[in-house]
Amino acid sequence: MADDRSLILVVDDESHIVHVVSLKLQNAGYRVITAEDGEEALALALEQRPALVITDYQMPMLSGLELCQQLKRDPRTSDTPALMLTARGFSIGEDVLKQTNIALVLSKPFSPREVLARVKELLGKQTNAEAVQAP
């Protein structure tokens, strides 16, 4: 599939979050596909090859962390960055982050405007696979 720099996958088991984030992104000109759990998101990501995945941490089937680990392992999505949304006030360990493509973690509650700003930042940097990787 062609590399579509405007396609973003939004995955969260809370439908209102999917709706708010999707609407903000669509209004900014991005194409959005959505999933309700990590398993559905993984299938969509492998099929559609989005430029970015925005995922919740806590979800049924596969957690957001497990989703990001699987995306990193698959050659089709190994360079796809992820923005992790989490209700927990915790940080993900550096060793775990290295097993994923998580480029940024935002805590809930978040501002849809902040999500959009971060998306623009991540996709703006995404000219090559290393662009969002910390040195």
Domain 7-120 annotated CATH 3.40.50.2300: yes
Q: What is the pLDDT of residues 16-74, one digit of tens each?
A: 999 999 999 999 999 999 999 999 999 999 999 999 999 999 888 899 999 999 999 99
pTM reported for the whole predicted model: 0.86
Q: What is the dihedral of CA 29, 33, 36, 40, to 10 degrees?
A: -150
Q: What is the pLDDT of residues 73-120, one digit of tens each?
A: 999 999 999 999 987 666 677 888 888 999 998 888 889 999 999 999
